[in-house]
Amino acid sequence: MPTFEYAPAPESRAVVNLKPSYGLFIGGEFTESEGGSAFKSISPASEEVLAEVTEASSADVDRAVAAARRAFTGAWGRMSGVDRGKYLFRIARILQERAREFAVLESLDNGKPIRESRDVDVPLAAAHFFYHAGWADKLEYASLGSNPRAIGVVGQVIPWNFPLLMLAWKIAPALAAGNTVVLKPAETTPLSALLFAEVCQQADLPAGVVNIVTGAGATGQAIVDHPGIDKLAFTGSTAVGKMIARSIAGTRKKATLELGGKAANIIFDDAPIDQAVEGIVNGIFFNQGHVCCAGSRLLVQESIAEEVEARLKRRLGTLRVGDPLDKNTDVGAINSKAQLERITELTAAGEAEGATRWSPECELPSKGFWFRPTVFTGVSQGHRIAQEEIFGPVLSVLTFRTPHEAVAKANNTPYGLSAGVWTEKGSRILWMADQLRAGVVWANTFNKFDPTSPFGGYKESGYGREGGRHGLEAYVTTGDSK
Amino acid sequence: MSPTTGAPSRVEIKKTYKLYIGGKFPRSESGRSYEVYAGGASSGAFLANAAQGSRKDARDAVVAARKAFPAWAGATAYNRGQVLYRVAEVMEGRRAQFVAEVRASEGVSERQAEAVVGQAIDRWVWYAGWSDKYAQVLGGLNPVAGPYFDISAPEPTGVVAVLAPQASSLLGLVSVLAPVVVSGNTAVVLSSELRPLPAITLSEALATSDVPGGVVNIVTGRTGEVAPWLASHRDVNAIDLAGAAGAEGVVWGDLEAAAAENLKRVVRPAGTGPEAVEPDWTATPDLSRLTAFLETKTVWHPKGR
Amino acid sequence: MSTSTAPRDAVDAPSRARDILGASRLTNESLTAWLHGLPGVDQVGCEARAAMLGTRSIKTTSKAWAIDTAISMIDLTTLEGADTPGKVRGLCAKALTPDATDASTPRPAAVCVYGDMVPFAREVLGEGSGVNIAAVATAFPSGRASMPVKLADTRDAVANGADEIDMVIDRGAFLSGRYLDVFNEIADVKQACVRPDGTAARLKVIMETGELVTYDNVRRASWLSMLAGGDFIKTSTGKVSPAATLPVTVIMLEAVRDWRELTGEMVGVKPAGGIRTSKDAIKFLVAVSEVAGEDWLDPHWFRFGASSLLNDLLLQRQRMRIGAYSGSDYVTDDSPSLY
């Protein structure tokens, strides 16, 4: 037993009032489904059923799109930018006021540590609404072209890794530009989006501006295929992104796709080593590695590979895996059984291909979906664990000898979302940043996000940006009106 | 150009043109060529034989474009601007030939052809001037809430396949090509199927200008035959479908679907619904064709003592 | 307490330094190359790490343990020009009986006073109380005196019965790159800590991190102090702001951790100045545990240089014992402000 054992420090669940079941948020109200079924949302940390939610049918999607269209041609479409902005400010404030409630709910439904939902997800979600609120009456200053205005009805499909934050990334710019929204949260994490629907009511947002339809792949497909949708925004896997791109081919629907990644986190021998180790840990174990831009491939300069591995392992020994609601938990639960199976399968492949597997000693809870933080050393570019997105707390360690080799290995993937570079040599940082084919390059830091900072990928990591002036572009059309 | 005019004493040389790939002028690996007639017709007054590019020619062109990409993308913006301006200079020197070919290809009057060639040259100049400006207009510092220097800047997407407009054989071509290459992309162009001569002459102008070999590759031939191979090619990062409008046997939606396989950036043809129309290329362009082939890269770095 | 480490007293610092540096002769150049070869510290990343450690939530039993551990790690300090024998006696009495209402309260590790006050402290503490006497020396706090004066200052304190010596380094020499001067200064003071019977007072090296300004300097000064034979590295005199910050302490904890990897020896860490609340103290203990490791969670290897911290810890201790918030009238105060 350690000398300094941290006693359990659970965040109270009392702040969250879940209903036993939820309908669909369409036209400003929670409504019953037309022909849809129901499914359960569980806590991945305990497999406890949290609530029953609706699997929206295509008729439900029809209703939601119609409600969004009415709002677009109606009150919301006619509203001045100034007033639109005030609604966004209002939502931002409510998110701040209800921050604890959202944080606890997010950790319950998603399995992520409360420290992260409290310190990252929820504050950033509020910040996104604040940031975009200010754009609502300033579109013509965004240098997007002449006569900037809303596109229309936007379909948005978001993933389970940052449920509320991804919702904010999608809804805030869409509304700022004057669009209306039909959003589908992921089937394993629908609850914070439903709570957000209550926030829309609380903010008196006009009916139909935001519609939340819960469901799985079929519901998402119904949104993608719906002829009343003018623009799609999707965050999720590259495989689904490609399906969407195919689905809308030959139509006039616009799309932004925020997809997978296999980021290299590159450590040079002159790196600030203690911070680099923190960056490696944050890069891959933040949010259980359920992060599209996770630094899942560690590229270490050969001369310091052993030292970095030793320091990394020592550091991983202090990670606290367990109850997501415990304020001292660093690594929470894997989001779903399916995801756990995928991680398990890919790590087994890693071992079978000859990489060396290591995990710190840690006890895992008996119920729920859990996976030990895992490091593979002796990994080559050819290994599946170096090529495929694992989307879990699994790090593959590779080595390099020169900056050119590091760049070549980092870029040798169909993905191009993010990359990390650690060196104290300024000119090398700038050279590396030029060479890396990735939408976000974190130099001497990792996994930093901000509403003002565009985020998005090269190559098969998708297209379009979210955040900043660039993110706004995806929700605006320009030129003469037809 | 017409074979029926001219002095009776001399037998005219009938021209057989080749492709432009990697700075060289190869024949189509298929050995095929096709006859080009005046006014973009499928018969009538013979103008020349054009190489009928194949999927393998397109593949070779992609290889050449990929090879040329790092150096061209890595060239200074100032340098790329100079190189593009040089293209305008070289075209100006061959103005008469371009006018004659546009006139023959598009069946327009001498005056109209002169106007179109002038605009095409001016378009190179317009984009040349953008080379060292768009990054400032489109990029910038992001005021993040933390002690970080955070900057976003545009970068070229990579290898871009361009279906050149079918009707506007020179101005349309320049209007879609210049915004691709000015930012450091390299291009594989499928020229207007029935009006390829201005594109061929442009390739000769490019070859004698300062544009590095492989930056622009021009394949003549049947759009419907070659375009699907470019749309599905995994080493192509983006595709401009402008030339799908009016191309025989081309359904642009199918090309877009094929492009989804590696998530190419796709510029759809103008028009509404499934219909594709060729826009008026004489209109003053905006930045949309340039930005369509740019990636925004954001770099973070902490600020500390 | 760890017993696996070699005794520091036996070390001949210059010869070991030559070994570690791989140099036949210890020069300023070789020291500079070595110190500047240490990995850099990214300020933002280091502060983010410290802030994360500060979010640990320490409750119930672990809080009770942490409070007692923190009390036992305090160097209860008075370092005023206005200090008198009476003030020092009061401080020592407080150290012997921190909380008269609860005899189970641990005693602090030491009292820390000026060298001339050591005899008065000894009067009260006697031998075998478990409370050591630490004396500041070497022209504390500025360190601006010649070497003979600093050495005499040290010998005087040791002769007066100090168990521990808290020296200051010459920050001017350090900042102007005269690392060899700083090394020699520490090594010579270390020699001056040796008593006639061959035993030695433990030497704490105050780097005055607030004057070193950058974290790179803090890391280099930490390694230089360890190389020269310091038994402890200590942040501050308490006379310069900022004094003991959590990020600076994290860097020092990294340094002693890495030093042990290199040499097998443990060196202690003492943040001093500015740590006034139990909440702050617990953050430091979390850092000790997660950065250096549990071996340092021992008064022999970790100290707080503090005065008012003790009473805040006692208030918290009372609250946990009686289940109600306590007040300052329920803890004794032997060093109220003069003003």
**Which chain B residue shows the shortest CA-CA distance from C46?**
B304
Segment (H or E) for C35: helix C28-36
Same domain? A218 vs A245: yes
Distance of CA A357 to the CA centre of its chain: 27
The ipTM, to two decimals, is 0.97
- Is A1 part of the contact surface with chain C (CB cutoff 8 Å)? no
What is the reported pLDDT for C268? 98
Residue at C337 is within a domain: no
- Is B305 part of the contact surface with chain C (CB cutoff 8 Å)? yes
What is the reported pLDDT for B1? 47
Question: How far is Cα B294 from Cα B41, in angstroms, rounded to an integer?
Answer: 36
Residue at A468 is within a domain: yes
The pLDDT tens digits for C279-289 are 999 999 999 99
- CB–CB contact C59 A115 (8 Å): no
Residue C299: pLDDT over 60: yes
Long-range contacts of A47-51 (CB under 8 A, 24+ apart): A47/A367, A47/A368, A47/A369, A50/A18, A50/A108, A50/A109, A50/A191, A51/A18, A51/A19, A51/A20, A51/A21, A51/A22, A51/A191
Same domain? A315 vs A445: yes
**Which chain B residue shows the shortest CA-CA distance from C45?**
B302
Residue C297: pLDDT over 50: yes
Same domain? A58 vs A153: yes
What is the reported pLDDT for B12? 86
Residue C224 is part of which domain span? 9-322
Same domain? A193 vs A87: yes
Residue at B230 is within a domain: yes
CATH number for A362? 3.40.309.10
CATH number for C295? 3.20.20.70
- CB–CB contact A4 C61 (8 Å): no
Chain C touching partners, 3 or more CB pairs below 8 A:
A, B
C166 flagged as catalytic: yes
Question: How far is Cα A80 from Cα C9, in angstroms, rounded to an integer?
Answer: 78
- CB–CB contact B147 C213 (8 Å): no
What is the reported pLDDT for C5? 39
What residues form DSSP beta bridges with A21? A52
What is the reported pLDDT for C84? 96
What is the four-CA torsion angle of C274, C277, C278, C284, rounded to 10 degrees? -30
- CB–CB contact C254 A274 (8 Å): yes
Share of chain B above pLDDT 90, in %: 95
The pLDDT tens digits for A278-332 are 999 999 999 999 999 999 999 999 999 999 999 999 999 999 999 999 999 999 9
B8 — pLDDT class (breaks 50, 70, 90): low
**Which chain A residue shows the shortest CA-CA distance from C42?**
A272
Q: Which residues of B touch C220 (CB under 8 A)?
A: none
The pLDDT tens digits for A258-282 are 999 999 999 999 999 999 999 999 9
Residue B49: pLDDT over 60: yes
Share of chain A above pLDDT 70, in %: 99
The pLDDT tens digits for A16-72 are 999 999 999 999 999 999 999 999 999 999 999 999 999 999 999 999 999 999 999
What is the reported pLDDT for C339? 73
Q: How many domains does chain C have?
A: 1
Residue B15: pLDDT over 90: no
Q: How far is C150 from chain B (nearest CA, A)?
A: 32
- From the list A470, A186, A479, the residue with the least C-alpha distance to A339 is A186
What is the reported pLDDT for C335? 74
Residue at A436 is within a domain: yes
Average pLDDT rounded to a whole number, residues C241-258: 98
What integer best gives the mean pLDDT of chain C?
95
Chain A touching partners, 3 or more CB pairs below 8 A:
B, C
Chain B touching partners, 3 or more CB pairs below 8 A:
A, C
Residue A348: pLDDT over 80: yes
Segment (H or E) for A156: strand A153-157
- Is A273 part of the contact surface with chain C (CB cutoff 8 Å)? yes
Q: Which residues of B touch A470 (CB under 8 A)?
A: 152, 296
Residue C2: pLDDT over 70: no
What is the reported pLDDT for A398? 98
- CB–CB contact C65 A274 (8 Å): no
What is the reported pLDDT for A39? 97
Residue at A482 is within a domain: no
Residue at A13 is within a domain: no
What is the reported pLDDT for A443? 98
Measured CB to CB, residues of chain A less than 8 Å from chain B are 127, 143, 145-146, 238, 241-242, 245-246, 249-252, 257, 259, 414, 429, 433-434, 438-445, 448, 450, 452-456, 458-460, 462-463, 465, 468-470, 478-479
Residue C9: pLDDT over 60: no
Same domain? A173 vs A270: no
Token pair, residue A44, equals: 């991945």
Residue with tokens 């070869």: C37
Q: How far is B141 from chain C (nearest CA, A)?
A: 19
Q: How many domains does chain A have?
A: 2
Q: How many domains does chain B have?
A: 1
- CB–CB contact C294 A3 (8 Å): yes
Q: Whole-model pTM?
A: 0.96
- CB–CB contact A3 C297 (8 Å): yes
Residue at C333 is within a domain: no
Average pLDDT rounded to a whole number, residues B68-80: 98
Residue B196: pLDDT over 50: yes
Residue C10: pLDDT over 70: no
What integer best gives the mean pLDDT of chain B?
96
| Out of B148, B303, B305, closest to residue C213 by CB | B305
Same domain? A410 vs A347: yes
Residue at C336 is within a domain: no
The pLDDT tens digits for C137-148 are 999 999 999 999
Residue A205: pLDDT over 80: yes
CATH number for B41? 3.40.605.10
Q: How far is B225 from chain C (nearest CA, A)?
A: 55
Q: Which residues of A touch B273 (CB under 8 A)?
A: 251-252
The pLDDT tens digits for A96-146 are 999 999 999 999 999 999 999 999 999 999 999 999 999 999 999 999 999
| Out of C44, C213, C214, closest to residue B302 by CB | C44
- Is B147 part of the contact surface with chain C (CB cutoff 8 Å)? yes
The pLDDT tens digits for C186-230 are 999 999 999 999 999 999 999 999 999 999 999 999 999 999 999
The larger pLDDT score, comparing residue C5 to residue B91, is at B91
Residue at C265 is within a domain: yes
Residue at C329 is within a domain: no
Residue A215 is part of which domain span? 24-259+460-477
The pLDDT tens digits for B223-251 are 999 999 999 999 999 999 999 999 999 99
Residue with tokens 């300097």: C217
Q: What angle do CA A134, A135, A141 make, to 5 degrees?
A: 125
- Is B143 part of the contact surface with chain A (CB cutoff 8 Å)? yes
What is the reported pLDDT for C3? 35
Average pLDDT rounded to a whole number, residues B10-20: 91
Residue at C304 is within a domain: yes
What is the reported pLDDT for B4? 54
Residue B291 is part of which domain span? 33-302
Residue at C140 is within a domain: yes
Token pair, residue B247, equals: 């191309």
B14 — pLDDT class (breaks 50, 70, 90): confident
Active site members of A: 258
CATH number for A465? 3.40.605.10
- CB–CB contact A272 C40 (8 Å): yes
Question: How far is Cα B131 from Cα B80, in angstroms, rounded to an integer?
Answer: 6
Measured CB to CB, residues of chain C less than 8 Å from chain B are 42-45, 213-215
SS3 for chain B is CCCCCCCCCCCCCCCECCCEECCECCCCCCCCEEEEEHHHCCCCCEEEEEECCCHHHHHHHHHHHHHHHHHHHHCCHHHHHHHHHHHHHHHHHCHHHHHHHHHHHHCCCHHHHHHHHHHHHHHHHHHHHHCCCHHHHHCEECCCCCCEEEEEEEEECCEEEEECCCCCCCHHHHHHHHHHHCCCCEEEEECCCCCCHHHHHHHHHHHCCCCCCCCEEEECCCHHHHHHHHHHCCCCCEEECHHHCCCCCCCHHHHHHHHHHHCCEEECCECCCCCCECCCCCCCCCCHHHHCCEEEEEEEEECCC
- Is B303 part of the contact surface with chain C (CB cutoff 8 Å)? yes
Q: Is the peptide bond before A113 cis (omega within 30 degrees of 0)?
A: no
- Written as one letter, the residue type at B26 is P
C234 flagged as catalytic: yes
- From the list A116, C332, C172, A415, the residue with the least C-alpha distance to B262 is A415
Residue at B146 is within a domain: yes
Residue at C87 is within a domain: yes
Q: Which residues of B touch A250 (CB under 8 A)?
A: 251-254, 256-257, 274
Residue C1: pLDDT over 50: no
Number of A to C CB contacts under 8 A, please give it: 70
Question: How far is Cα A371 from Cα A337, in angstroms, rounded to an integer?
Answer: 11
Number of B to C CB contacts under 8 A, please give it: 16
What is the reported pLDDT for A3? 83
Residue A415: pLDDT over 50: yes
Average pLDDT rounded to a whole number, residues A464-474: 97
Average pLDDT rounded to a whole number, residues C20-47: 97
**Per annotation, catalytic residue among C163, C166, C170, C231:** C166
A2 — pLDDT class (breaks 50, 70, 90): confident
Measured CB to CB, residues of chain C less than 8 Å from chain A are 39-42, 44-46, 48-49, 55-63, 65-66, 69, 251, 254, 285-286, 289-290, 294, 297
- Is B133 part of the contact surface with chain A (CB cutoff 8 Å)? no
Residue at B21 is within a domain: no
Same domain? A46 vs A167: yes
- Is A3 part of the contact surface with chain C (CB cutoff 8 Å)? yes
Residue at A67 is within a domain: yes
Q: Which residues of A touch B140 (CB under 8 A)?
A: 469
Question: How far is Cα C147 from Cα C142, in angstroms, rounded to an integer?
Answer: 13
**Which chain C residue shows the shortest CA-CA distance from B304?**
C43
**Which chain A residue shows the shortest CA-CA distance from B301?**
A443
**Which chain A residue shows the shortest CA-CA distance from C69?**
A4
C7 — pLDDT class (breaks 50, 70, 90): very low
Helical axes C179-192 vs C147-159, angle rounded to 10°: 30
- Is B147 part of the contact surface with chain A (CB cutoff 8 Å)? no
